[in-house]
Amino acid sequence: MIRQIRTIAAALAALALAGCCCGRSTSSLDLEDTSSFTGAVRVAADFAGREVARPSVPHTSHAVEIEVSGAKGSDNQTLGAGQQPVVFGGETFLAPQTVHADFDFRLAYIGYRYRHVFERSGLGLEALVGPGYAQLGLTVAGPSRRASDRLRDGGLVVGLGAMLRFWGASSVNFRATGFGSGNDDGVTSASRYDLYFAQALGRNAGLRAGYSWWNIRSRREDDFGSSTLSPIRVRMSGPALGLELMF
């Protein structure tokens, strides 16, 4: 009986030691810039739906949509005494110190978009799905070390949006866009939320201006939930401006 108790105790101790060895030994890079600027160019071509004289005015349609968007920013992160180090780009940033990070993010996709506009009320709903490509560039610098890396991944983009059309050629829009790659070493996921005012300019062009929020993650984990690299989270928000071409 005593031997069995010793065996169980030894097994529990081994499991506890394994948990300590396999857990995180690094601090996250958690960065945020609330004054970033988002720029975007979007092209949409209807292939079915309601015939309209001005494709630039929101209307019910099935369309192919292509967009390239991006934002950049910077932030400082302080590693307090006793905190785990940040490991990034082949360099180790030991605590205590403050590191400075510059980052930029790009998201491109081509997708199928369905949009339905209720003509009497001007309310519209839309959904989007298609392949996408994400790229996160990041440079981290401390008093004695500097490291840079660029994460690139393909994945799936999905989006949901709503709009309210008024004054004929104007509308207020909200869209949530998500990207996922399934790659824990690259850009694991990204999301963007846009709230903007859109104005049709002629028959085939439009301009939108508003505010965007980004949230980008790289988990940096293996199949057992551990890694020697620091997980990355980048958040950006600020004014946004976009150009749209519609056919």
Residue 67 covered by a domain = yes
pTM for the full predicted model: 0.84
Residue 65 covered by a domain = yes
Residue 20 covered by a domain = no
pLDDT at 220: 83
What's the CATH number where 114 sits?
2.40.128
pLDDT of the chain, 247 residues: tens digit per residue: 454 444 434 443 433 333 333 455 888 999 999 999 999 999 999 998 777 888 999 999 999 999 999 999 999 999 999 899 999 999 999 999 999 999 999 999 999 999 999 988 999 999 999 999 999 999 999 998 999 999 999 999 999 999 999 988 999 999 999 999 989 889 999 999 999 999 999 899 999 999 999 999 999 875 444 568 899 999 999 999 999 999 9
Residue 225 covered by a domain = yes
Alpha-carbon distance of 201 to 180, in angstroms, equals 33
Residue 14 covered by a domain = no
Residue 75 covered by a domain = yes
Alpha carbons within 13 angstroms on the beta-carbon side of residue 213 total 5
The number of domains in the chain is: 1
For residue 44, give its domain range. 39-246
pLDDT at 4: 43
pLDDT at 185: 87
Residue 203 covered by a domain = yes
Please, is 88 exposed, middle or buried when counting C-beta atoms within 10 Å of its C-beta (0-12, 13-18, 19+)?
Answer: buried
Residue 158 covered by a domain = yes
pLDDT at 40: 98
DSSP per-residue string spanning the chain = -HHHHHHHHHHHHHHHHHHHHHS--S--EEEEETT-EEEEEEEEEEEEE---S-TTS---EEEEEEEEEEEEEEEEEEE-TTPPPEEETTEEEPSSEEEEEEEEEEEEEEEEEEEEE-TTT-EEEEEEEEEEEEEEEEEEE-SS-EEEEEEEEEEEEEEEEEEEEETTTEEEEEEEEEEE---SSS--EEEEEEEEEEEEETTTEEEEEEEEEEEEEE----TTS--SSPPEEEEEEEEEEEEEEE-
pLDDT at 222: 55
